[in-house]
Amino acid sequence: MSDSVAFVNATVNDIRAILPLFKAIVPHYPRSAVYYRWAHFDHPVRESRVIVGRADSRVVAHVAISALDVGASKPVGFPQQVLVHPHYRKISVTLQLIEKINATITNEFAYGIGFPNDMFAPVLQSVGGWSVHDPIVDIVVDPNCDDRTTKGDFMDHLLTDPLPSRESFDDTLWSDLPGQPSAVKINYNWFLWRYMHHPNQHYDVFVVRRHGVIVGYTVIKIYERDDRGGVAHMIDARWSDSTATRELMDVVRDYCRYQRVRYMTTWDVSSYAGFLSEVGQRVELHDFTPVRTNCMSYNSAEGKPAGLFMGISDVY
């Protein structure tokens, strides 16, 4: 086994050479070529900058730096899947990878944000110069699902094929949330790419319309957190005004009651927290541990960007 690792920029043609590294380190992670291409080479802002370390004719280190639109001349860099093969997990290789990440963000992006895994967070902080912010913690609410709801109460709001055109959405949905400035900007193409065209995840997207125009939407994923039932995760929500907000709340309540979810969660960082608190009563639980997400930034004069939301990360 060679100790020399050469770092290069990867292209779409390198995807199949990258996948064995994922299998060795994160076997549970979606690692199909279709998924990888969707995540990093079909990205609606721009292709991710994928950097790999090669040794002995195989990929032994990896990072994919995705782009987030912040309405500036340069996007924000979002490093994901920072991986080093266990056989090459020496401090020198790890430092080289972090140096590549920092140099790429400095040269190609406005600044960097990230939600690094527990293994790399300390290294990014201690030797990489990344700033550590308070963890993002899920809030948990009880949507009071004792009352049964019929399926028809919310199915009329479910977004299905054929997908609506760009003109079917109120333009204000792509603006900042009311009372919550957001560093990350999204648009119609990003919305379709992230929620409707995901090759591995299924999301329930509900919309409310006014005179045929979509004036609000919410994105929900139900998953099992323990053996006693599912949890509804609100990943994203946008609305044009308070009337649309109330309509969305009614749809979410009906959906949760029909699905008999135990709890509903969302990141406690934005207007979503207030929205969800109106759907149900916020609770502190001893038998349920909310997700805590590390948040870090690099070269950001403003510190942690405001208005982060779950949809920017494919963790959810």
Average pLDDT on 281-290 reads 65
Q: The domain 138-290 is classified under which CATH number: 3.40.630.30, 3.20.20.80, 3.40.50.720, 3.90.1150.10?
A: 3.40.630.30
- Express each pLDDT in 158-215 by its tens digit: 999 899 999 999 998 988 765 555 668 889 999 999 999 999 889 999 999 999 999 9
What percent of the chain has pLDDT above 70? 85
**Full-model pTM:** 0.89
What pLDDT sits at residue 179?
55
Q: Is pLDDT at 94 greater than 70 in this prediction?
A: yes
Calculate mean pLDDT across residues 233-254.
89
pLDDT at 227: 59
Region of poorest pLDDT, from 88-92, 107-111, 177-181: 177-181
Q: Which residue has the higher pLDDT, 118 or 65?
A: 65
Q: Where are the domains of the chain?
A: 6-129, 138-290
Asked if residue 228 has pLDDT above 90, the reply is no
Give the residue-averaged pLDDT of 268-289.
70
* pLDDT > 80? residue 85: yes
pLDDT at 9: 97
Tell me the pLDDT tens digit for each residue of 47-57: 999 999 999 88
Mean pLDDT of the chain: 85
- The topology under which CATH files domain 6-129 is Aminopeptidase (3.40.630)
Contacts within 8 Å (CB) and 24+ apart, 244-251: 244/208, 244/210, 244/215, 244/216, 245/216, 245/275, 247/208, 247/216, 248/206, 248/208, 248/216, 248/217, 248/218, 248/275, 249/275, 249/278, 249/279, 251/154, 251/157, 251/206, 251/208, 251/218
Residue written as token pair 């699902």 = 145
Least confident of 63-67, 99-103, 120-124: 120-124
**What percent of the chain clears pLDDT 90, i.e. is strictly above it?**
42
- 42-46, 126-130, 225-229, 288-292: segment of lowest average pLDDT: 225-229
Q: How many CA atoms lie within 13 A of 282 on its CB side?
A: 13
Torsion 283-287-288-292 (CA) sign: positive
Token output for 79: 């490093």
Mean pLDDT throughout 136-160? 78
> At 146, is the pLDDT very low, low, confident or very high (cuts 50, 70, 90)?
low
Q: How confident is the model at residue 15 (pLDDT cuts 50, 70, 90)?
A: very high
Average pLDDT over residues 213-218: 95
Domain 6-129 and domain 138-290, same fold? Reply is yes
Query: What is the pLDDT, as a whole number, of residue 310?
Result: 80
